[in-house]
Amino acid sequence: MNKVFVVLASMLMLQGCITKLVTVPVGIAYDVTKGAVKGTVAVVDAVIPDGDDEDDKKEKKKDKE
């Protein structure tokens, strides 16, 4: 009975540590993936222009008139 109590008490006290062990790697993976995606989007935007600048110029001309 004493061993069961010790195991249960240990589980409750170490709950915060277990949470950190799970959430820290997930946060790191999220940050790395976010950076990789942003880099990929920047490269794709540089290689394949989408013509937003031309649309902006047309809108500015309309606004001036």
Instruction: Indicate if the pLDDT at residue 8 is higher than 80.
Output: yes
The predicted structure's pLDDT at residue 17? 77
What residues make up the domain containing 32?
A: 2-64
Spell 12-49 as b/e; 16+ CB within 10 A means b. eeeeeeeeeeeeeeeeeeeeeeeeeeeeeeeeeeeeee
Q: Note the pLDDT tens digit of each residue in 26-62.
A: 889 999 999 889 888 888 877 876 656 666 666 666 6
State how many domains the chain has. 1
pTM of this structure:
0.47
Per-residue pLDDT of 18-30, as tens digits, reads: 778 788 888 899 9
Q: Is the pLDDT of residue 15 over 70?
A: yes
- Distance, C-alpha 24 to centroid of its chain: 13
